């Protein structure tokens, strides 16, 4: 559990697509070095929240501050440079580039803005960090699914973000890969990274998260430690329905 | 510099030296064919600087080329301004214009961008024609200079060399790396911190700049300029097809498309002049079906290398 300063501060965040309100007046914050899980039933607006933070969508109303800087309606590239990095729900690697260049993309254009040898060696250290030691020269299209996810993670880390957003990074992994994945994220957390993760894998939530935000129909349903929220009757009802 | 860089620079110098000797060996018909080829080398290569990595097919080359030719003609014919001044003016005008178009349209994706650029080029051609006929008076515009075909050829060679040097520098820069990422996945590009709009507009302006310079240099070759000649939609298509034929994922790709295509095009224009449009269509189909990565892609496949 962490009691550092507030890194991400979200107030009254709302996003509507035409008549559909995907996120409705959501407020929460994330402290430095904290791992926060965003959970909730399908369609409750979790991914939309990540998209709003990373600048993929612009909020209809509300505000988002990162370390005191207003990033509410800034373009995605600006938010990335301010220090938000993310992975995508459906893994998005750069298929025409090598593993090394994929990760360099984060190092070159992210918050650190490294170039040439510095960027390359920074990328190399992260490739090793996520466990792709001998694969840095391969085209990413030849990698397995979990390795592509590792590339995406390394690319996000390469920008040296203040906060890392993981959108179902563990989805689609088999049981043994899942254990590997969970310990990888755990080790990032132990390094002192601040992480917000959208996740359906409850084991991961229990193991990784200091705190959970539970969403339902775009609104905040519950907030607290994983064990507390997962035994909250309102949360159980939202997931399973009445009776 | 790696040994490979040194080798490429040496090959480049030899190629330029050989190309520079063409007017000393040939004149008349063959020099004129070489001049046409050199014009398309500059146009297609600079076009591919933008369209290669982004896969945005621009059909606006004719518009920028036309701005070059037409401004040189108007300036020299109506206002007695110097050729060099008008060339510089037209380059600035086309670059600014490309910047405006870029900012307005580069969020359009795929086919919408293609149609927009085609429509835009046609609109400019018609507007300039109308202005010429109704406002400026339908006088002809003459571009009279002392330039011989050899001079024009050497000027175009200089522009082509500049395009190649710039292309090589961009490929090594952050901008070039950004463009490769944008071409792979624009969403990822934005989320790693690339200002995608700025990168795309910058390269689109580069394309406009060079097309206008080439249009300006070519103007003295025509001597008599009218809007329908320089704002040519056919030119836009030829630039695209030659770059596609050569292959857009290498800087020297379009070069390998321009040379064979210009020769075939010349031959067809002489033997069966009524079939050039038919040929253009067939060439498009053939390239798309059989040479999706162009001559460069084919060469790399034959050598067993992977095409990116």
SS in 3 state form for chain A? CCCCCEEEEEEEEEEEECCEEEEEEEEEEEECCCEEEEECCCCCCHHHHHHHHHCCCCCCEEEEEECCEECCCCCHHHHHHHCEEECCCCCCCCCCCEHHHHHHHHHHHCCCCCCHHHHHHHHHHHHHHCCCCCCCCCEHHHCCHHHHHHHHHHHHHHCCCCEEEEECCCCCCCHHHHHHHHHHHHHHHHCCCCEEEECCCHHHHHHHCCEEEEEECCEEEEEECHHHHHCCHHHHHHHHCCC
CB contact under 8 A, B192 and A159: yes
Q: How far is CA A240 from CA A230, A235, A243, in A?
A: 12, 9, 8
Largest CA distance in chain A: 61
CB contact under 8 A, A92 and B188: yes
User: Shortest CA distance to B180 belongs to which of B207, B203, B160, B210?
Assistant: B203
User: Shortest CA distance to A39 belongs to which of A187, A189, A227?
Assistant: A227
Residue in B185, B195, B308 nearest the CB of A77: B195
Q: Which two tokens stand for residue B122?
A: 């046609």
Residue B305: predicted pLDDT:
54
Q: CA B89 to CA B86: how far, in whole Å?
A: 5
CB contact under 8 A, B190 and A85: no
Q: CA B303 to CA B296: how far, in whole Å?
A: 11
Buried b (16+ CB within 10 A) or exposed e, A7-18: bbbbeebbbeee
CA of A243 to nearest chain B CA: how many angstroms apart? 42
CB contact under 8 A, A97 and B191: no
A178, exposed or middle or buried, with CB in 10 Å at 0-12, 13-18, 19+?
middle
Q: Which two tokens stand for residue A12?
A: 């009254």
CB contact under 8 A, B188 and A105: yes
The answer to whether B271 touches B61, Cβ cutoff 8 Å, is: no
H-helix or E-strand spanning residue B4: helix B3-25
Contacts of B192 in chain A (CB under 8 A): 80, 85, 105-106, 108-110, 155, 159
CA of B174 to nearest chain A CA: how many angstroms apart? 8
Q: How far is CA A39 from CA A4, A14, A115, A216, B182, in A?
A: 23, 17, 37, 9, 32
CA of A112 to nearest chain B CA: how many angstroms apart? 10
CB contact under 8 A, B174 and A104: no
Residue A3: predicted pLDDT:
60
CB contact under 8 A, B192 and A106: yes
Contacts of A139 in chain B (CB under 8 A): 306
Q: CA A39 to CA A31: how far, in whole Å?
A: 18
Q: CA A193 to CA A131: how far, in whole Å?
A: 18
Alpha-carbon Rg for chain A in angstroms: 18
Residue A243: predicted pLDDT:
61
Low-confidence ranges of chain A (pLDDT < 70): 1-3, 242-243
> Which residue spans within chain B are E strands per DSSP?
141-142, 224-225
Domain ranges of chain B: 3-232
- Which residues in chain B (54-113) have CB-CB distances under 8 A to chain A? none
The answer to whether B242 touches B257, Cβ cutoff 8 Å, is: yes
* Backbone dihedral angles phi then psi of residue A80, each to the nearest 5 degrees: -60, -45
DSSP B225: E
Domain ranges of chain A: 1-83+162-243, 95-161
User: Shortest CA distance to A196 belongs to which of A229, A164, A159, A162?
Assistant: A164
The answer to whether B207 touches B98, Cβ cutoff 8 Å, is: yes
CA of B307 to nearest chain A CA: how many angstroms apart? 9
Low-confidence ranges of chain B (pLDDT < 70): 138-139, 305-308
End-to-end distance of chain A based on CA atoms, in angstroms?
Answer: 34
Superfamily of chain region A1-83+162-243: P-loop containing nucleotide triphosphate hydrolases (3.40.50.300)
Q: CA B301 to CA B156: how far, in whole Å?
A: 32
Residue B298: predicted pLDDT:
86
The answer to whether A166 touches A84, Cβ cutoff 8 Å, is: no
């Amino acid at each position: 559990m962490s009691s550092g300063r507030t890194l991400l501060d979200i107030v009254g965040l709302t996003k509507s697509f035409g008549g559909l309100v995907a996120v409705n007046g959501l407020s929460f914050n994330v402290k430095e070095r904290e791992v926060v899980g965003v959970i909730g039933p399908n369609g409750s607006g979790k991914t939309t929240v990540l998209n709003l933070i990373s600048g993929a969508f612009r909020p209809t109303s509300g505000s988002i501050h990162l370390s005191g800087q207003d990033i509410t309606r800034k373009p995605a590239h600006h938010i990335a440079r301010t220090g938000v990095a993310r992975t995508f729900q459906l893994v998005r690697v750069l298929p025409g580039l090598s593993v090394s260049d994929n990760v360099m993309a984060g190092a070159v254009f992210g918050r650190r803005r490294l170039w040439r040898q510095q960027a390359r060696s920074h990328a190399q250290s992260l490739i090793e960090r996520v466990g792709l030691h001998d694969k840095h020269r391969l085209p990413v299209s030849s990698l397995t699914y979990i390795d592509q996810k590792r590339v995406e993670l390394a690319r996000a880390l390469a920008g040296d973000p203040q906060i890392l957003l993981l959108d179902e990074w563990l989805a689609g992994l088999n049981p043994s890969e899942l254990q590997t994945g969970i310990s990888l994220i755990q080790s990032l957390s132990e390094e002192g990274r601040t992480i917000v993760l959208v996740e359906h894998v409850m084991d991961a939530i229990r193991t990784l998260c200091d705190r959970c935000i539970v969403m339902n129909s775009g609104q905040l349903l519950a907030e607290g430690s994983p064990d507390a929220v997962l035994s909250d009757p309102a949360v159980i009802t939202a997931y399973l329905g009445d009776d | 510099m790696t040994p490979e860089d040194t080798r490429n620079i040496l090959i480049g110098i030899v190629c330029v030296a050989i190309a520079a000797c063409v007017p000393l060996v040939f004149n008349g018909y063959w020099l004129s064919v070489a001049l046409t080829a050199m014009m398309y080398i500059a146009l297609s290569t600079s076009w591919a600087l933008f369209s290669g990595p982004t896969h945005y097919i621009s059909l606006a080359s004719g518009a920028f080329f036309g701005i070059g030719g037409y401004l040189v003609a108007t300036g020299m014919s109506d206002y007695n301004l110097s050729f060099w001044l008008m060339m510089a003016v037209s380059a600035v005008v086309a670059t600014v214009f490309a910047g405006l178009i870029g900012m307005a349209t580069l969020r359009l994706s795929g086919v919408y961008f293609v149609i927009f650029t085609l429509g835009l080029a046609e609109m400019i051609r018609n507007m300039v024609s109308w202005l010429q006929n109704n406002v400026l008076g339908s006088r002809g515009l003459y571009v009279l200079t002392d330039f011989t075909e050899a001079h024009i050829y050497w000027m175009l060679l200089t522009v082509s060399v500049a395009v190649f040097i710039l292309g090589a520098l961009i490929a090594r820069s952050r901008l070039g790396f950004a463009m490769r990422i944008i071409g792979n996945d624009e969403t990822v590009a934005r989320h790693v911190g690339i200002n995608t709009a700025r990168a795309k507009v910058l390269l689109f302006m580069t394309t406009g700049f060079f097309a206008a310079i080439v249009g300006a240099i070519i103007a003295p070759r025509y001597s008599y300029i009218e809007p329908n000649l320089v704002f040519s939609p056919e030119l836009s298509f030829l630039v695209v097809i030659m770059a596609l034929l050569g292959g857009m994922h290498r800087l020297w790709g379009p070069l390998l498309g321009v040379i064979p295509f210009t020769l075939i095009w010349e031959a067809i224009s002489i033997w069966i002049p009524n079939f050039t449009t038919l040929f253009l269509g067939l060439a498009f189909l053939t390239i798309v079906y059989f040479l999706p990565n162009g001559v460069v892609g084919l060469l790399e496949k034959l050598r067993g290398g992977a095409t990116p």
